[in-house]
Amino acid sequence: MAFVVRRQLMAHKARTGRDGPDLVFDRTATEVFYASTIRARANKAWEEAGLEPITRHEARHCANSYFIAACLDWKQISTWAGHGDVRQTWNRYGHLVPGGEEQARERLDAYLNPPKPTPTVAQTVAQDPQNDETPVATGVLKYRYRDSNPGFRRERAAS
């Protein structure tokens, strides 16, 4: 149970003086409420708040929507909703997942149209790391390592 709900229930319990096995929402501490009583109380609360009333069923859907918006775990939402299977919850409320269709479209577009790679120049041992130009453009043709400079052997042999 969410802490905010628990806090409200504890405050209600304190206001009504109920404890132990006493009923929480009822006509008295021992007499259960009638369905019409809860609807009348709810309508009164809606009216006092200046809001348009919703049914208990609508309130259930609203609560599940809040759970989804808060990114709660689907299994937990399913349990709280009283569904026998998480697939039932997903089938009913899956369309409420933030960014669902739009995010799927964007991901598919990005996969099918990857950005063109930006050409880069690999740094060499003889290249100044502060200079993005190639060694040829900077006039640095001789590399430090023999296996990196094909002309190295010819130059050594000629000298």
**How many C-beta neighbours within 10 Å does residue 93 have?**
19
Output 45 or 150, whichever has higher pLDDT.
Answer: 45
Query: What is the C-alpha radius of gyration for the chain, rounded to an integer number of angstroms?
Result: 35
3-state SS, residue 38: helix
Confidence check: pLDDT of 123 > 60: no
What's the confidence (pLDDT) of residue 96? 84
User: 26 φ, ψ to 5°?
Assistant: -160, 180
How large is the greatest C-alpha to C-alpha distance in the chain, in angstroms? 111
What is the C-alpha to C-alpha distance for residues 151 and 158, in angstroms, rounded to an integer? 11
Q: Is there a contact between 62 and 54 (Cβ–Cβ < 8 Å)?
A: yes
Cα–Cα distance, 110 to 77 (Å, whole number): 31
CB neighbour list of residue 74: distance below 8 Å, 6 or more residues apart: 86, 89, 90
pLDDT band at 86 (very low <50, low <70, confident <90, very high): very high
Mean pLDDT of the chain: 77
Average pLDDT for 145-154: 51
Q: Residue 16 contacts by C-beta under 8 Å, 6 or more apart in sequence? A: 29
What pLDDT is attached to residue 143? Answer: 47
pLDDT of res. 127: 53
Q: Domain coordinates of the chain in residue numbers?
A: 3-100, 120-159
CA 67, CA 5: separation in Å to the nearest integer?
13
Q: How confident is the model at residue 32 (pLDDT cuts 50, 70, 90)?
A: confident
Closest Cα to residue 79, out of 92, 88, 66, 70?
88
